[in-house]
Amino acid sequence: MAEVATAAAAVHLTPLGGFHDEGGTTILLGPLEPGFWGFVTGHPAFHGPDPLDHWSDVTITALADELDAEACFPFGGPPYHPFIAWALRSGEAWQSPVGLLVHKDAGLLVSYRGALRFDRKLDLPAPAPRPCDTCAGQPCRTACPVSALGPGGYDVPLCKTHIDTDPVCRAACRVRMACPVSQRYGRDQAQTAYHMEVFHPSCPND
């Protein structure tokens, strides 16, 4: 695992958990903060219609070649790899009170850029405690102005309709940012704005 972390850090990625399966190991990879966004947007592979996915493909495929592993991605399907199920198996991510994945270090800002699958068992850290269990007040529950997110599900149309009228939500999801773990994560606001724009592009007249 230390070898994976060192190689990933060289390209501003970090292991976000892993699990053993049928004699092998899957390691999930995500942004190494702070500094990920500046590194990625200045990289030659950050281009095309989906520049972050293109960078992830190029970078993690190269890592897989370096480490004798198979590269897997949450995009490029169908079929799609079950990244949510993998995250829940990792011992480092859980379902939050509002249904979104929450990670021990990234909070509700967790983003999986890809994974490495090894045909051997690697040492993995012990499972971490779920941060929501000791979160005072769980502010994520009440952060959405229109209650689009909750344990009963995610009302995506309602969320997108509200984003059109709320510049704060257009720049960053209030629910994700309310998480105390998210607030300590150190992600560049420009990256958060990028993800929001991909999720719900601005109207031409905005």
Q: For residues 53 and 35, give the distance between their C-alpha atoms in angstroms, rounded to a whole number.
A: 18
113, two tokens: 């850029």
Q: Are 107 and 131 in contact (CB under 8 A)?
A: yes
Q: For residues 161 and 169, give the distance between their C-alpha atoms in angstroms, rounded to a whole number.
A: 11
Give me the pLDDT at residue 22, please. Answer: 86
Taking only the tens place, the pLDDT of each residue in 81-134 is: 999 999 999 999 999 999 999 999 999 999 999 999 999 999 999 999 999 999
Which residues of the chain, if any, have pLDDT below 50? 205-206
Give me the pLDDT at residue 153, please. Answer: 86
Q: Name 20's bridge partners.
A: 25
Cα torsion angle, 85, 88, 90, 96, sign: positive
Give me the pLDDT at residue 203, please. Answer: 56
pTM (two decimals): 0.92
